[in-house]
Structure 1
Amino acid sequence: MNIKIYPSESKGSINGISSKSYAHRFLIAAALSSGVSTLDNVILNDDILRTIEGLKVLGAQFVIFDHTIRIHGIDLKKRHEHVVINAHESGSTLRFLIPLASHLSASTTFRGSETLLKRPLSVYEKLYKEHDIQFEMIDQDLHLGSFPRQTQYRISGAVSSQFISGLLFVFPLLDYSSELIIVDHIASKPYVDLTLSIMEKFGLTVIEKDNTYFVEKNQSYKPIHEYCENDFSQAAFFAILGAINHEVSLSGLSLQSKQGDKQFISDLQHLGVNIEIDELITIFKSSIKSGTIDLEATPDLGPIYFVLALFSEEQIVFTNTKRLAIKESNRVEAMRIELEKIGATMIVSDNQVIVKRLEHPIYTECFNTHNDHRIAMALSILATTLPWPTIINNADCVNKSYPDFFKHLRSLNIHLEEL
């Protein structure tokens, strides 16, 4: 599917969608509970469906109606000889479910897209191979043995916080107490905090001290009924639409959320964006200051921040950008290729990106999405400001996280059509 976006002035309010990060974590915790849990306000996307399918393979049952999911927990006393889980393109599904699947099954095969299985799994690989447990790629499938048993686990947190969350979900189920030591810094630490907050809601206790997590043995997940938070990661696209195009209001966002990408509000204010926070969060078109933004905890905001920088007074410097290379695409390289089409300047080094102000865009007929949902959404926001219609190729890759993105963009007075 290709989408043509016409120059348009944004206006209106949008409620957004449920948080993918919150839903992944809730569904896993609910699947590990001893009864029936319910999650309301869920907008399904490809990634969430992959986690649901993986949990079904492990024995969970799901009833989905409207925007509510009812989850019947896994019989944790049952052990499988072998299971096969297809994560498709969902890195969250893969990283969250590797420890759980190997705990519940003697052997596991994970399948996925070619790009997914090229993404880093070295943290788990090292952990399994230290105990002579299978963890290897065979014919484009990942094969692994049973979960490594030890009382102390030492891993890197610098690649992705999802490795930490994946282990934390399993530890309470073990028949021995566990200690997880992070040997370096934790990338995207707020998302570990989100995992811990959801585990606490399900009745689990995890003690955190100095980059170490202590988990008592034989704990039980208790079923609960929750309302899924709205997603700050996706809301950031519309916030920046307001900042560079015309006023936009966001509703349904909880400022008490543990979601790391809530940081976009502070980042935009730091860059001079006029934001009014009341019952709604209203973002006004603003003069964007030059400045520096650290993407260590918020790499998913990188693509739309690069768009924002084109409207800055002079330039914006982005630090800790290295992890953008290991997402659905190499997001730095993908954005450089696309933004250079309209004459933008991106100066890329090992762990830093500088994006210069773009005074006079050069005509281009289309942008390519590199099969990356966040690239597609970022370029679509940019396209609304260009003085000519722009085609977004392969736009349906947004289904990975936000199937209604273009419907919602149209609701904000943006003229677009499907080709």
Structure 2
Amino acid sequence: MNLLLQTTHSNLKAEIAVTGSKSETNRLLLLQALFPNVSLANTSNSDDSEVMQKALKGNEEIIDIHHAGTAMRFLTAYFAVQEGREVVLTGSARMHERPVKILVEALEQLGAKISYEKEVGYPPIRIRGQKITASKVTLAANVSSQYISALLLIAPKLENGLELVLEGEITSVPYIKMTLALLNDLDVKTSFEGNIIKVFPKQEVETKEMTVESDWSSASYFFSLAALSSQSSISLTSYKETSLQGDSALVDIYKKMGVETQFEGNKITLTKQKDFKFETINLELNNTPDIAQTIVVTCLGLGIGCHLTGLHTLKIKETDRLEALRIELTKLGANITVTNDSLTLIASNNINHNVKIATYNDHRMAMAFAPLALKVPIIIENAEVVSKSYPDFWEDMKKLGFIISETEV
């Protein structure tokens, strides 16, 4: 499904309820599977979370998680400790290109039994669940935080808990802290000092309902819309001023692009500042790589340059996001260069009209480029890919007055 996005005005006003955080939901679904007396509210309705839930509740031997990278990492750890259970974890063609070797080797250090069905280091993988008594594992610190979180989430159920030693500079610290905070909410004792993380064993937790905060990554597209609008008052629920999600850094980042964020109860309201003086944006996004696509597209729309670093994990996402951004932004007329971990956009006021944006099976490509419709008509290919994290995205865009129509082009 290709969608043509247009708008007749750029004064944006609406109140939108954003689905629960995919990151929090997937962590809590795994913890709920380990501790069944935990109940959840405001969970994400994303494809990724539905796939995760189905896998945890089912009893099939072959589990297909499609494009869901988080599910692949978390479920690898989960099934490694399910004594007597044997499963094969598989996914889409792209998933078979996304490495899992680092996580598999860490689990094997603990005594897990995992083998590769095809290419060494990549899914599909066969997991034979074991009782694990080893409690110390070493991991490179600059790997995807999902590898680290996968190990931390199963740690309370390990007989002797877990001591995780991270070697080198740690990336995506907020996601690690989110995992530890959710464990702490269940009264699981943890510590994170220097490069050593400890999770202490806990076989039972008290009955508890946990409410998932709405997704800050999903909010990023509305920050972009507010920045590119002539005037805006966009209210989003449900958000906390003290969030566990690293992407809440959006508040400070978009202040540099003329967007003011007001917190009131569980709601945030985004307003565009009048007569804002824009400057080149320089950001280190080690802790928040998922919002890089949104930021660079906003800068293009505003006619300002940016230099973004700390993006090395983007090369192993749903697609090589850095290369995808280079290709698609170039189509729009942008002067952009990328390296293995950075991106530089030169300021320009020219944006090509009616460009067709390829999405590469990547939900964030579709949503990051959509706000440009405030500046030029734009076509999003395979627009249904948004269901991976935000199924209601196009309906919510319509609430803001966007004209969205299917096109054969």
Q: Please confirm whether the aligned pair reaches a TM-score higher than 0.5, indicating the same fold.
A: yes
The DSSP-based 3-state class of the residue aligned with 1:42 is: coil
User: Paired residue for 1:395?
Assistant: 383
Instruction: Note the 1:7-406 alignment, pairs <5 A.
Output: 7-8=7-8, 9-13=10-14, 14-35=16-37, 37-57=38-58, 83-106=61-84, 107-128=86-107, 133-138=113-118, 141-146=124-129, 149-246=133-230, 247-252=232-237, 253-269=239-255, 271-279=256-264, 280-284=268-272, 286-312=276-302, 314-386=304-376, 389-406=377-394
Q: What amino acid is the match of 1:98?
A: T
Q: Cα gap change, 1:400/1:314 in structure 2, threshold over 3 Å: closer, same or farther? A: closer
Alpha-carbon contact 1:311-1:357 (below 8 Å) kept: no
Q: RMSD between aligned alpha carbons?
A: 2.2
Distance 1:12 1:373 in 2: 24
Give 1:237 deviation, angstroms.
Answer: 0.6
Q: Cα gap change, 1:185/1:221 in structure 2, threshold over 3 Å: closer, same or farther? A: farther
User: Paired residue for 1:72?
Assistant: none
Alpha-carbon contact 1:6-1:390 (below 8 Å) kept: yes
Alpha-carbon contact 2:305-2:348 (below 8 Å) kept: no
Q: Cα gap change, 1:156/1:377 in structure 2, threshold over 3 Å: closer, same or farther? A: same
Q: Which moved more, 1:143-152 or 1:154-163?
A: 143-152
Q: What amino acid is the match of 2:146?
A: Q
Give per-residue Cα distances to partners, 1:294-318, cap 9 Å, x unaligned.
1111111011111022145641100
Give per-residue Cα distances to partners, 1:58-78, cap 9 Å, x unaligned.
6xxxxxxxxxxxxxxxxxxxx
> Which residues of structure 1 form unaligned runs of 5+?
59-81
Alpha-carbon contact 2:152-2:162 (below 8 Å) kept: no
> Which residues of structure 2 form unaligned runs of 5+?
none
Q: What amino acid is the match of 2:243?
A: S
Q: Cα gap change, 1:156/1:145 in structure 2, threshold over 3 Å: closer, same or farther? A: farther
Distance 2:347 2:7 in 1: 20
What TM-score comes out, normalization by structure 1 length?
0.87
Distance 1:384 1:84 in 2: 45
- Equivalent residues, number: 392
Give 1:378 deviation, angstroms.
Answer: 1.1
Q: What amino acid is the match of 2:55?
A: G
Q: Cα gap change, 1:350/1:216 in structure 2, threshold over 3 Å: closer, same or farther? A: closer
Give per-residue Cα distances to partners, 1:211-265, cap 9 Å, x unaligned.
2122223432333112221111110111111101231423322111110100111
Distance 2:56 2:62 in 1: 11
Give 1:29 deviation, angstroms.
Answer: 1.2
Give 1:22 deviation, angstroms.
Answer: 1.2
Alpha-carbon contact 1:316-1:354 (below 8 Å) kept: yes
Distance 2:367 2:63 in 1: 29
Give 1:40 deviation, angstroms.
Answer: 2.0
Give 1:128 deviation, angstroms.
Answer: 4.5
Distance 2:212 2:114 in 1: 36
Alpha-carbon contact 1:160-1:186 (below 8 Å) kept: no
Alpha-carbon contact 1:290-1:315 (below 8 Å) kept: yes
Alpha-carbon contact 1:181-1:211 (below 8 Å) kept: yes
Distance 2:149 2:284 in 1: 23
Give 1:39 deviation, angstroms.
Answer: 1.9
Give 1:43 deviation, angstroms.
Answer: 4.1
Give 1:348 deviation, angstroms.
Answer: 1.3
What TM-score comes out, normalization by structure 2 length?
0.89
Give 1:358 deviation, angstroms.
Answer: 2.6
Alpha-carbon contact 2:331-2:355 (below 8 Å) kept: no
